[in-house]
Amino acid sequence: MDVELRASDDDRHRVVAELHLHTAAGRLTLDEFSERAAAVWTARTLGDLAVLTRDLPALPALPALPGSGVETPGSGDPVGRGRRELLVLFAVAAITLLLLGGFLAVTR
């Protein structure tokens, strides 16, 4: 990976999703997630994005979505687990938005 290449919005979305998963796994606090997520949107290069996840372990490959037509090894996970992970991800995002809203209300 050429760290000097400009980051795209897709690259930024991927890193935020990765940070969400690490937060749900308990590797990041909500404050750390908020700080890193804010830095994602100001990152200009792939190297800037890589710095934000450098201290986190690599995530396992995610199984294919049901009905996508793509099978991956280990894609037999129960549907309930995927829904639970999505709910955790949604909860983390909602809490983050509430914290940011509270922060903005206090600082104005």
Residue 55 lies in a domain: yes
Q: What is the pLDDT of residue 89?
A: 85
Residue 69 lies in a domain: no
Cα distances (Å, whole numbers) of residue 48 to 43, 53, 99: 5, 10, 25
Q: What is the pLDDT of residue 71?
A: 43
Residue-wise pLDDT tens digits, 58-73:
887 655 545 544 444 4
Residue 45 lies in a domain: yes
What residues make up the domain containing 92? Answer: 9-60+79-107
> How far is 91 from 3, CA to CA, in rounded Å?
32
Q: What is the pLDDT of residue 28?
A: 93
- Indicate the number of domains in the chain: 1
Residue 67 lies in a domain: no
User: Residue ranges of the chain with pLDDT lower than 70?
Assistant: 1, 61-82
Residue 66 lies in a domain: no
Q: What's the pTM value of the predicted model, to 2 decimals? A: 0.57
